[in-house]
Amino acid sequence: MKKCVFSGIRATGRLHLGNYLGAVKGFLEIQEKGDYEMVYCVVDVHSITTPYKPDELKKNKREIIIDYLAAGLDPKKSILIYQSDIPEHMELAFYFSTVETIARMMHLPTYKEKVKQYPQSNTMALLNYPILMAADILIYKAGLVPVGIDQEPHLEVAREIARKMNQTYGTDFPEPVRFATKGEYIPSLTGEGKMSKTVVNSFINLTDSLEEIRKKIRSVPTATAAGGEMSPGLKTLFTFAQLFIPSEVEGFKKSYEGRTLQFVTLKDRIAEAIYADLKPFQERRVKIAADQKYVDEVIKDGAARARKIARETVREVKEKMGLS
Ligand code: TRP
């Protein structure tokens, strides 16, 4: 059997340029090589562990599937699913919860942050979040998980659960590790940190129009620091220039050094180039979004293929745990 990569994405809004260049392009490369079985899962059940709006969730989770398809993920080569379509994830999470302690879950930094953010919603579901995540990954016996460093504590929990299950019940779960896809680091438009869905004014949506992109790029702060040092915002602009207009970087650098560079000229040129890069994606997206039947079919087919694997893992676990 091929090695499995499991990717989970929360259904909070759409993909942005940082996801696209940082992760999805890496996925496409893996897809081309064909060395791995890839499962892309919109983790809608994780989305309900903090306050949310049902109608927004319903809309957002479909948008992510459409974004993935428009970006080039091929549903024939990969499995695209909604977590809630595979009830075995939740079943396995319950079995896993028998080998994990409450104290351990309460000490996770991610849990503490969420409780601080939503003190009224300190629920069992939130406490169980990492256990469900372990089940997402281990149900496919995936050894590789492309996620950010912030998810390392959760992966540590998944490894712990795999070990305990294997020791106690003789299962053969792998200990999953974080996996960096070959992607670019995309800085935030604020000039600080990286582009992120949860930081306002930091990102460009994949569906932004030329006007929207221009407005956002123009708002990157470019006030020059004393002594001719490039400000963080200006460095960000040059990072974008390197990514989108590499052949023009030299010229812009020269005029910067010669103090003749008009920032707005550089900004508008970058905005134009980003838009040109996104246009084919946007055109594909419009077509895919209009074909409801196709999108439904992808989701149905993904669920059927995933369930086959998931059922088998759960069957094995139930047997080894003495439940069947
Ligand atoms: N916790 C992950 C995040 O916040 C989302 C997620 C849920 C996930 N299940 C997963 C990621 C399984 C990778 C594998 O981004």
Q: Do 281 and 312 sit in the same domain of this protein?
A: no
Amino acid (1-letter code) at residue 317: V
Q: Do 118 and 30 sit in the same domain of this protein?
A: yes
Q: Do 149 and 7 sit in the same domain of this protein?
A: yes
Q: Do 139 and 278 sit in the same domain of this protein?
A: no
Amino acid (1-letter code) at residue 17: L
Range of the structural domain that residue 127 is part of: 3-184+292-320
Is any ligand 1 atom within 6 A of the Cβ of residue 64? no
The protein residue whose alpha carbon is closest to atom 6 in ligand 1 is 8
| CA 134 – ligand 1 centroid, Å | 9
| CA 130 – ligand 1 centroid, Å | 9
Per-residue pLDDT of the chain (324 residues; tens, 9 = 90+): 689 999 999 987 789 999 998 889 889 999 999 999 999 999 999 999 999 999 999 999 999 999 999 999 999 999 999 999 999 999 999 999 999 999 999 999 999 999 999 999 999 999 999 999 999 999 999 999 998 888 999 999 999 999 999 999 999 999 999 988 877 889 999 999 989 888 888 999 999 999 999 999 999 998 776 666 889 999 999 999 999 999 999 999 999 999 899 999 999 999 999 999 999 999 999 999 999 999 999 999 999 999 999 999 999 999 999 999
Residue 27 lies in a domain: yes
The protein residue whose alpha carbon is closest to atom 14 in ligand 1 is 8
Phi, psi (rounded to 5 degrees) for 182: -75, 95
| CA 191 – ligand 1 centroid, Å | 27
Q: What is the dihedral of CA 194, 22, 44, 110, to 10 degrees?
A: -40
| CA 133 – ligand 1 centroid, Å | 6
Q: Do 158 and 243 sit in the same domain of this protein?
A: no
Sign of the alpha-carbon torsion through 231, 233, 239, 245: negative
How many folded domains does the chain comprise? 2
Distance from C-alpha of 240 to C-alpha of 80, rounded to nearest angstrom:
30
Q: Is the pTM of this model over 0.85?
A: yes
